Amino acid sequence: MAEVKVAVLGGSGAGKSALTVRFLTRRFIGEYASNAECIYTKHLCLDGRQIHLEIYDPCSQPQQGKLSLTDELHWADGFIIVYDISDRASFAFAKALLYRIRESHTGVCKKMVESSIFLVGNKQDLCHMREVGWDEGQKLAMDNKCQFCELSAAEHCQEVVAMFTKVLRNITSNFKVKEKRRPSGSKSMAKLINNMFGKRRKSV
């Protein structure tokens, strides 16, 4: 069984948890507040292949201060970077996240397996309050060589599922090309993950 680890990152209120829960349960949870980081786990079948999926959903991420993604960069096989199309500050934060991830590919944290990255403009249902244009999101994605879409976690269940599915397909395709960088079942890695993200896990 393939193990796939995805980190869903973005500014506070961008809709990270709403997107994650929408994909895992097909339900929309609306406003979501959590004071703890969480790793959701789920077994699923993708293209006839069994997958053990873990999705890291941080409780929130600071809008100010230096970004420190060292733990996430070493843990995740793929990233979903989320911003709110009605909040330009969240778009600026997403841009900073993408820069940090891209920087790691040429720095000391260079990953052995290239990450799949998807930029998501969430809350398309609030287009009447839009502060970030579709073309801006598309250009940011192109500049960072990642995929892009706009959707609404509140209204677009199938689009959310399709987006996560694309990410998973990209990751598993990478696995076929290169050997996985983490030994499966490593006790030391399990301990590291617990230290990094705590022990709060949810099976869906």
Q: For 20-71, how does the pLDDT look when each residue is reduced to its tens digit (9 = 90+)?
A: 999 999 888 765 555 556 889 999 999 999 999 999 988 654 444 444 577 7
Q: How many domains does the chain have?
A: 1
pLDDT digits (tens, 9 = 90+) for 93-137: 999 999 988 887 665 444 544 568 999 999 999 999 999 999 999
pLDDT of residue 126: 95
The better pLDDT of the pair 184, 16 is held by 16
Q: How far is CA 7 from CA 19, 78, 105, 123, 127, in A?
A: 12, 6, 16, 19, 26
Decide if 204 is inside a domain.
no
Mean model confidence pLDDT for the chain:
81
- pTM score, whole prediction: 0.80
Decide if 130 is inside a domain.
yes
Decide if 178 is inside a domain.
yes
Token code pair at residue 198: 């705590």
pLDDT of residue 202: 64
pLDDT of residue 188: 45
Token code pair at residue 34: 């959590």
Measure the N-to-C terminal CA separation of the chain; round to a whole number of Å.
Answer: 17
Decide if 134 is inside a domain.
yes
Decide if 51 is inside a domain.
yes
pLDDT of 162 strictly over 80: yes
pLDDT of residue 32: 57
Decide if 98 is inside a domain.
yes
pLDDT of residue 69: 72
Looking up residue 59, the CATH number of its domain turns out to be 3.40.50.300
% of the chain at pLDDT higher than 70:
72
Decide if 142 is inside a domain.
yes
Say if strands 38-46 and 116-122 run parallel, antiparallel, or are unpaired: unpaired
How far is Cα 109 from Cα 171, in angstroms, rounded to an integer? 19
Identity at 104, one-letter amino acid code: S
Residue 203 φ/ψ region, left for φ over 0, alpha for ψ in the -120 to 50 degree band, beta for the rest: beta
Nearest alpha-carbon partner for 104 in 67, 78, 62, 73: 73
Decide if 203 is inside a domain.
no
Task: Report the b/e string of 167-177 with b at 16+ CB within 10 A.
Answer: bbebbbebeee
Laid out side by side, the sheet with 49-57 consists of 147-150, 116-122, 78-84, 2-10, 49-57, 38-46, 201-203
Q: What share of the chain is helix, strand, coil (3-state, %, to 5)?
A: 40, 25, 35
Domain with 184, as residue range(s), is 2-198
